[in-house]
Structure 1
Amino acid sequence: MRLLAYDEHRLGLKPVYRRGERPLAVGAHRYRWCYVCTLVEPETGESLSLLVDGLDTEVMGWVLRELEAWLGEGEEAWVVLDRAGWHVSPKVEVPERVRLVFLPPYSPELQPVERVWPLVNEAVANRYFRDLEEMMEGVAERCRVLAQDPETLRRHTLFHWWPRTKVSA
């Protein structure tokens, strides 16, 4: 059984500035968005990130199917997530090997994935993108880099109270 945390992060063409720094890039306030859907296993730092252009119950079902395909043969996943409408809807098709575990309402501090978003934002901070597709390419590359560095993800997401499922040698 794998215990994963899941959330979505909205990124758009409106610039992300770092506090205390003057922007090094041209900025243009534009309101087009994409979402990074990330599943992370805090205990190991393994992650799966998917980029989508909108969120609804159909997209949520697709994310869960992608998770099931990502799992090893015979593995089951329990996914800890918030109570966004597209998460709790009875219309969401949850694959057989996936179980959803909902956090209490209004408790983002309990969601380990929230600590991943500043790492993802590095791809867009103080940068100007011609269009959403160019920005999504940068975000996708950043997600690939993070997926190849599970120790960084583990350091950011493994809260002291997170249940341990792996047997230590």
Structure 2
Amino acid sequence: MSTDDIVTLLIRHRVKHGSEQEYEGWLRRIIGIAKGYPGHLGIDVVRDKQDGLQQFTCVLRFASGDQLQAWLGSSERRDLVAEVSHLLADGDQVEINPEREFWFTPATTDATPPPRWKQACVTFLVILPLALAVPLLWQPVFKVVPWLGGYVPSNVVITASIVLLVVYLFMPPVTRFFAGWLNQR
């Protein structure tokens, strides 16, 4: 599997007032079920407000479009969405994007993104340790495969490693961790 095959599914639900706890319980159940589907690579949930209602944006990644469609078209998902539909203000809002990465703010929310300086600080905190550690981790490989340790090949390998680690592994949980500070005005 290459990273070119990965697709992202965005699901937005605005929850009616007073239904947030019931929705959270349902959300935990559906996340557990989605994780069991072939090709599921992870999920992030972003909580926000839109027009005075709690909005949940679920960002699911799948290894391929076919595997994403298997989950999206499953009777299991359809039944679970029907079960919670009475809690949703706008129904089940679904968006598929083969390239979407999702770090700081949902695409259709009324909220403004955090100030760029805060985004830069969080990004710096993620990239700096990787920039220090990743080259050291590749050194044994460069010694065994000398041509890979050349200036251009080694920089390509190290940079690609850092970018993939930032985008797919570290940035989503770090952004969730700093969400309160990022969105603080």
Q: Which has the higher contact order (CA 8 A, sep 6+)?
A: 1
When normalised by structure 1's length, the TM-score is: 0.25
Q: Greater Rg, structure 1 or structure 2?
A: 2
When normalised by structure 2's length, the TM-score is: 0.24
